[in-house]
Structure 1
Amino acid sequence: MSFESNEQAEGYWRENLRLVLKLLAVWAAVSFGCSILLVDVLNEIHFMGFKLGFWMAQQGSIYVFVALIFVYVAKANALDKKYGVHED
């Protein structure tokens, strides 16, 4: 990866770090919030035959995590193209 200037490299990594922090915040909110903090409220809702709080703790947070991986890949590729450091 080769940047044209230090400012360009700093801008790239600043945006990349901001993206990672946003995705980590979503992951933390879903895994910690839905599985621990809101489990009693969510357990009043049934989803696919299971209490939603239980389902989020066992399956839902994993699905969200995998979805966040795909979101990161798409956003990181767009960021690479924006800064001209993408791979062909």
Structure 2
Amino acid sequence: MSKKQKHATAYWKENIKYLAILLSIWFGVSYGAGILLKDELNEIKVGGFKLGFWFAQQGSIYVFVILIFVYVRLMNKLDKKYGFNE
């Protein structure tokens, strides 16, 4: 395997690692807070809505959007690290 291929393989391994971590966070928030911990979170009210309901309806979407920005930042750093930035 050439040096360029090893470089690209290392880049993609880090990229997949970041994706797995961020998607796990999103899954944990959407499934955990929206379904598994719904009853415990419903005891807390935010803006007149139960917190478990809010996470199921809105919270996981907000977390997903935040994770998109985190992913962009991580990928910009990764691109600079491996010399793929413009």
TM-score band, normalised by shorter chain? over 0.9
Q: Which residue of 2 aligns with 1:27?
A: 26
- Report the 3-state secondary structure (helix = DSSP H, G, I; strand = E; otherwise coil) of the residue aligned with 1:86: coil
Identity of aligned residues (%): 60
Question: Which runs of 5 or more structure 1 residues have no equivalent in the other structure?
Answer: none
Considering fraction of residues, name the structure with more helix. 2
- Residue 39, structure 1, aligned to residue 38, structure 2: yes
Residue identity in the other structure for 1:61: S
- Residue 65, structure 1, aligned to residue 64, structure 2: yes
Relative to the length of structure 2, the TM-score reads 0.94
Residue identity in the other structure for 2:20: L
**What is the CA–CA distance in structure 2 between the aligned matches of 1:11 and 1:38, rounded to whole Å?**
37
4+ runs deviating over 6 angstroms: none
**What is the CA–CA distance in structure 1 between the aligned matches of 2:14 and 2:23, rounded to whole Å?**
14
Aligned length: 84
- Once superposed, what is the RMSD of the aligned Cα atoms? 0.9
**What is the CA–CA distance in structure 1 between the aligned matches of 2:47 and 2:25, rounded to whole Å?**
23
Question: Which runs of 5 or more structure 2 residues have no equivalent in the other structure?
Answer: none
Relative to the length of structure 1, the TM-score reads 0.92
**What is the CA–CA distance in structure 1 between the aligned matches of 2:51 and 2:74, rounded to whole Å?**
30
**What is the CA–CA distance in structure 2 between the aligned matches of 1:23 and 1:48, rounded to whole Å?**
28
